[in-house]
Structure 1
């Protein structure tokens, strides 16, 4: 049995292009894999602490020990919650991320989630190769799969605006950094550029999601 994190980053709960395609994907996946556990993380409606000064000083440390005891009660709760979030990510086998594109990137709450799971000493560590920076680090999350479902009013995955597609490229780079090589994508794009083609764009994306879910 596999554990799947279904991560949605949208203020809406249903009526959006990305969420509609994501729902078709996850429902098809559950039908094809009834024994798997799917955990929905609705980022706008879950307890997702922001990394503040206290948490930053403790980044990568366990939620115990003398330094933990020195924190305020509020900071202790944040530290424990952040530890729960990264442990949940590490225990998952597959990740499905669903988001819109706003101003060339994804909603800031998704960045908060990614910051919570990219933790030194847990999801990545030193490579012990004597190098500094990214070259001296290595991910610990090999073997996972990621499906990224992204909606944008403009076509960004290819064409003249490809250079300002910062959302999927960031997520793919972050997952690769964690050692996850299997990062797939479904783009629901061009709905604002081509309002007369929205139905066709959605139908195509849903067909792609249904097909991809059966083999994810």
Structure 2
């Protein structure tokens, strides 16, 4: 039995979002293949996530020096610890996001900032940073309106590439991407394009639950 975090970063209703529809299809297939897995769903637009701001830096500095934190500093630092610990304790991760302005939504970046913490998800060594989450799996279920998998536009793809890179930085090496792209560029073919993305789901889900 695995502990899975299903993390979504899209404020739209599920039926109006290609990424959320694709993600729901994926996680339902996972449930079908591995019904004993425990799945925790996190809608990042409904989850309290603190910014790494002056209070947080001040609080971390005080902790390092054995000083007492203010109430606001303690609240934010505790919440970051809670989110990070939850992430570390999970076995597998499903990230669901659209591409916005060539990258990921800001709420997803905000979440990554709270979980990419030295000493918890990675550490510094004499040879450089080392990820601490080895042996875990992740999937990025992703939708983008244009075509970014080929041609000159490939160099402008900073969404899936960034997420996969930061996960590898934290030690997660088994990463898959299930991508639907080109729906806005070819609106008359949007549903057929989406159907082709759905066809990726069974194989990706089977590998995810292995």
TM class by smaller structure? over 0.9
Alignment correspondent of 2:117: 119
Alignment correspondent of 2:33: 32
Alignment correspondent of 2:171: 179
Count of aligned pairs between the two proteins: 207
8 Å CA contact 1:97, 1:147 repeated in 2: yes
Matched, 1:6 2:6: yes
State the Cα distance separating 1:187 from its structure 2 match. 1.1
Q: Distance in 2 between matches of 1:56 and 1:24?
A: 40
Report the 3-state secondary structure (helix = DSSP H, G, I; strand = E; otherwise coil) of the residue aligned with 2:147.
coil
Deviations 1:18-47 (A, max 9, x none): 000000000110111111111111000011
Alignment correspondent of 1:144: 136
Q: Distance in 2 between matches of 1:121 and 1:47?
A: 23
8 Å CA contact 1:60, 1:122 repeated in 2: no
Give 1:169's match in structure 2, choosing from 142, 161, 167. 161
Using a 3 Å threshold, how does the CA distance of structure 1 residues 120 and 58 change in structure 2: closer, same or farther? farther
The answer to which of 104-113 and 198-207 deviates more is: 198-207
Alignment correspondent of 1:75: 73
Q: Distance in 1 between matches of 2:129 and 2:144?
A: 33
8 Å CA contact 2:59, 2:73 repeated in 1: no
The answer to which of 95-104 and 153-162 deviates more is: 153-162
- The unaligned stretches of length 5 or more in structure 1 are 130-135
Q: Normalized against structure 1, the TM-score is what?
A: 0.90
Q: Distance in 1 between matches of 2:139 and 2:149?
A: 15
8 Å CA contact 1:60, 1:121 repeated in 2: no
Using a 3 Å threshold, how does the CA distance of structure 1 residues 51 and 193 change in structure 2: closer, same or farther? same
Matched, 1:193 2:191: no
Alignment correspondent of 1:156: 148
8 Å CA contact 2:176, 2:204 repeated in 1: no
Alignment correspondent of 2:44: 43
Report the 3-state secondary structure (helix = DSSP H, G, I; strand = E; otherwise coil) of the residue aligned with 2:139.
strand
Q: Normalized against structure 2, the TM-score is what?
A: 0.93
Report the 3-state secondary structure (helix = DSSP H, G, I; strand = E; otherwise coil) of the residue aligned with 2:175.
strand
Using a 3 Å threshold, how does the CA distance of structure 1 residues 103 and 161 change in structure 2: closer, same or farther? same
Using a 3 Å threshold, how does the CA distance of structure 1 residues 106 and 60 change in structure 2: closer, same or farther? farther
Alignment correspondent of 2:66: 66
